[in-house]
Chains A and B, each alone.
Chain A
Amino acid sequence: MRVRTITILVFANLLFVSSLIWFYPSTSDFRCDNPFWNGLSEARASFNILEISSITELPEEVEGVALLLIPYTPIEDWEIGLLSSFLKRGGVLIVMDDYGYGGDLLRRLGIRDLLFTHELLVDPLFCYKNPKLPRAIRLSHEFTGVKDLALNHASTLEASGTVEVLAWSSSFSYLDQDGDLEHDDGEPMGGFAVAARLRVGEGWLIAVSDPSILINSMIDLYDNKSFFERLLEIHGVEKVFLDVSHLPTSRLDRAKSWLREAYVLASSPGFSILIITLMLIVSLSPIWFEELRGLGGAEGGLRNR
């Protein structure tokens, strides 16, 4: 009796915790199902962004397709190959990075004219509330109607050669290399490129030195939404995919991922049959036991007689 109660309690708890994990929205940064300040739920709704868990999930036909990559984890060699092919065939790769592996990615793609500096951009005048939330105030003529781009702990780009800069910070911005939020002698002053593009094969490589411009709390600030909208428009993008395999993962997300894997496994025919069989065994076992006992009793009675 006690064992049965404990078993029921354990299963009930497992079910409850699983439901909680399944239904509680993600809290991780840059996740499309995260409705909180650091998520991309609004961007997903506005630009029909589709999450993919691997670059291999990109469609074969890449015309009008953009891949949004926020590389907070290293990119594998085989991924570099796929990305290179994606670009050469005409895809649009949007690398949004501040302090991650964007620079490493560009280097391994063989791009020399465009670099991520990975240094904090600070603007004490053209900012939103705080110098660490600087603004890009000059944009390429193609971005008609877009005046300001609000950034959040952004980095900058170094562009040369054929790279076309799309957005610059103000001339009052500077790179806070020692992190003291003061401009010291030798710290470079702006304007700095914060968005740029480069033709690679048939496609476009677009680099933005801050992935936070699209998060829920930033997308409606100044012209961030219009900027991204126009960025997609001028590159003929119709479908946007977000690669989540290089995003930072929280424990909740890991648990969600395990649950999803379990769900997929349980949905496979073999496991479906196994589960149904187990359920039938569990639900019918009392009857079988009772029947066996009953038959044993009846036969015994007849024999006694």
Chain B
Amino acid sequence: MEANRLLVVLLLIPLIGQGLESPYIPHENPSEVGETLSPLWLLHWYGYILQLMAMENYSEALKLLEEGGRLYIPSDLRYLFERFNELLLRLDEELNETDALLTEAYNLMETYRLGKLREKLEEASISLGRANITLIELMEALDELSRRIGVYSAPPGSEVRIYYERLRGLIDEIREIWRRYLELLKEVAGESSLLVGEAILPEIIEEETLPTLRSTSLSLYLNQTHVFVGRFVEAYGLLESEGNPLPNRTIQILLEDRIISRSETNSSGWFSIRFRVPYIYVDKLRCRAVFIPIGEDVGIYSANESDVVEITLIFYRVSVDVSHSNEGYPGRLFNITGRVSTEEGVGVSSLDVAAYLAGVKSTARSGDDGRFNLSLRIPEDTAVGSYILTIESQPSDVYAPGKYSASIDVTRAKLSLEVEAPRYLILPGVLRIEGRAFSKLALRRGLIHLHLKGYENSTEIRSDGSFTCNLRIPLLNIILGFYRLEVEVEPLEPWNSRASWRSSILLVNPLNLSLTLTFSMALIYLTPKRLRIRRRIGREFKAPTGAIEEGEGEVPPPKMVIEETLDPVLMAYLKALEAVIEATGLTPHPSETMREFWMRSAPYLDARSEVFLELTRIAEVALYSRTGPSEDEVKRAVELADFLMGEAP
């Protein structure tokens, strides 16, 4: 038996498995996929980067390296990979920086700006030194990475080994570039030392190659050091060499690092220049004069620059004070009122003010008191979200630019809905809903969609926001139940949001309901009643049956036993019933009670109907009453039965 059960279970397992089996789809569960890394492709990747670096295309190499963070590397190799990437990134930056510094130094040397040249050459020297260390570390890291990804276990001549050798070759090429940079550094340092007259990088440049230059001195004075922007300043000074003025030499005036004017020294070595202070709204500007030997002066006089003279700029700082809503709506105007004023609170008139929001620009000019009004129409297709509102006042003469920015939520106005809908609907029928939609902004056009159990209808909203919508629902295959009723509002104005309203409605199918009720009634009322009658009669049968079996010792036919052993009253009733049937020709229906049968037979019994009624009443007491009939009633029942039987013919 146990073995059979086991067999059934074993048979069921493959059947259930087959039932759950799905057709083949070409995909797999990523959480169950094993991690794999192709060494060849990784070397291929690094080959690309090193190739770019060897071509001195550092920016492209950097881009590729930054993308390297997105490569999938198994967790056990991740540290090594990240370290290798970090070294490559560092080398790329250091070589790029050296390249840029050397280029800059070369340009400085060309323009004889020797003060900065020294600084740049020193930086280039440091950067180059760092790149040398990084190259050594990179070679070590490449060895370790190659060992871990199985390059050394690959047979000689295999693709992996070829790629690895190529990688080493590329690193050697980068080493060559490094050497070239070193040579360039030496070259620039050497040439600039010739200009300055001293060794710029003494650890690299040998002193005996340097010629001796005559020193120069250059002074600079300004007629005013506190000046409004846009106003003129006069600069003058003296160029000398070992106490002798240098006439007819070109002097450049630089504000910060920008040449703004040039002048020539007179016969006394003095120069004088008038220049306009640019409209730059900063606190201070550094001014200096520069002498760069050109022509025959090269190799004789050293280049020089004056001490820095600071110019304090005077201008009015402008503040932009605005008031506006913190929310904007697509398709609506966004209004701004504001004022531009100085720090002292004095309004600035005739300033151009521009506002930017969600890609839209609006401009205005400030009035007499500095006040302005701006309006921006936010585009209808603007996605909701947070946007930056920027308001700028344009600089004008002594007024600096002013700026204001704030975060604005571009949103849609929430619609509110008032809906009147019936609580129930008898099918088939028309569902009619009425309501009103309103928004804090204008709601002029829109559609109402009504959905119920897969049926839907749409209607337009009236100009006052009210609506009426009908939906015809046919006779559905249901008895009754609550279903979701959904009303959606779709505003056609871009500044209003969609809204919906949900409720439950009782749908009643009267046909199905009445059929169900009819059958249920039959089940509920008829069945228990019949059961009670049968049980009662059954109880009456039980006790006498046992007595007969014991007393007579033989089993009489069951129907006779039932008849003989019935309660005397019921026995009498049955006898009387037989007589009544014979007399009237009527028979009791299965669903008929004794009283109902009396009522039906009474018209045929004339005077005997009263007798049969009394017997019926006693039989009902015997059958239904908890106490049962009295002895007198039993006797009376027998008498009445006998009477009816005697009268019957």
B523–A305 CB distance below 8 A? no
Chain B interface mostly: helix
For A268, list chain B residues within 8 Å (CB).
477
Q: Which of A124, A126, A133, A218 contacts B70 (CB 8 A)?
A: A126
| B83 at interface by CB-CB < 8 Å | no
User: C-beta contact mask, A1-45 vs B, less than 8 Å → 1, else 0?
Assistant: 000000000000000000000000001111000000110000000
Shortest Cβ distance from B531 into A: residue: A287
How long is the Cα–Cα vector from A238 to B522 in the complex, in angstroms? 51
A153–B26 CB distance below 8 A? yes
B574–A125 CB distance below 8 A? no
| A262 at interface by CB-CB < 8 Å | no
| B114 at interface by CB-CB < 8 Å | no
B577–A38 CB distance below 8 A? no
For B11, list chain A residues within 8 Å (CB).
none
Of the candidate stretches B33-41, B356-364, B622-630, the one touching chain A is: B33-41
Interface residues of B in 442-482 (CB under 8 A from A): 449, 456, 458, 477-479
Q: Which of B26, B70, B511 contacts A99 (CB 8 A)?
A: B26
Shortest Cβ distance from A152 into B: residue: B27
How long is the Cα–Cα vector from A297 to B558 in the complex, in angstroms? 9
For B560, list chain A residues within 8 Å (CB).
301, 304
How long is the Cα–Cα vector from A221 to B28 in the complex, in angstroms? 14
How long is the Cα–Cα vector from A257 to B369 in the complex, in angstroms? 78
For A218, list chain B residues within 8 Å (CB).
30
How long is the Cα–Cα vector from A291 to B23 in the complex, in angstroms? 57
- Shortest A249–chain B CB gap in Å is 7
For B33, list chain A residues within 8 Å (CB).
128-130, 132-133
| B110 at interface by CB-CB < 8 Å | no
| B19 at interface by CB-CB < 8 Å | yes
| B244 at interface by CB-CB < 8 Å | no
Q: Which of B72, B523, B558 contacts A126 (CB 8 A)?
A: B72
- Shortest B541–chain A CB gap in Å is 10
How long is the Cα–Cα vector from A279 to B26 in the complex, in angstroms? 48
Known: A124-B41, A126-B72. A27 touches B519 (CB 8 A): no
| B578 at interface by CB-CB < 8 Å | yes
B30–A128 CB distance below 8 A? yes
A217–B31 CB distance below 8 A? yes
For A129, list chain B residues within 8 Å (CB).
30, 33-36, 72
A153–B28 CB distance below 8 A? yes
Q: Say which size band chain B's interface belongs to.
A: 35 or more
How long is the Cα–Cα vector from A277 to B522 in the complex, in angstroms? 11
B509–A248 CB distance below 8 A? no
For A304, list chain B residues within 8 Å (CB).
559-560, 563
B562–A37 CB distance below 8 A? no
User: C-beta contact mask, A56-86 vs B, less than 8 Å → 1, else 0?
Assistant: 0001010000000000100000000000000
Shortest Cβ distance from A296 into B: residue: B559
For B574, list chain A residues within 8 Å (CB).
298, 301-302, 305
User: C-beta contact mask, B549-578 vs A, less than 8 Å → 1, else 0?
Assistant: 000000000111011000000000011011
User: C-beta contact mask, A126-154 vs B, less than 8 Å → 1, else 0?
Assistant: 11111111010100000000011010110
Which 7 residue pairs spanning A and B have beta carbons closest together?
A124-B41, A248-B23, A301-B563, A124-B38, A212-B27, A250-B22, A152-B27
**B residues lining the A interface (CB < 8 Å):** 18-23, 25-31, 33-38, 40-42, 44-45, 67, 70-72, 383, 449, 456, 458, 477-479, 509, 511-512, 515-516, 519, 522-523, 526-527, 530-531, 534, 537, 558-560, 562-563, 574-575, 577-578, 581, 590
**A residues lining the B interface (CB < 8 Å):** 27-30, 37-38, 59, 61, 72, 98-99, 124-133, 135, 137, 147-148, 150, 152-153, 172, 212, 215, 217-218, 221, 233, 248-252, 255, 264, 267-269, 272-273, 276-277, 280, 283-284, 287, 290-291, 294-295, 297-298, 300-302, 304-305
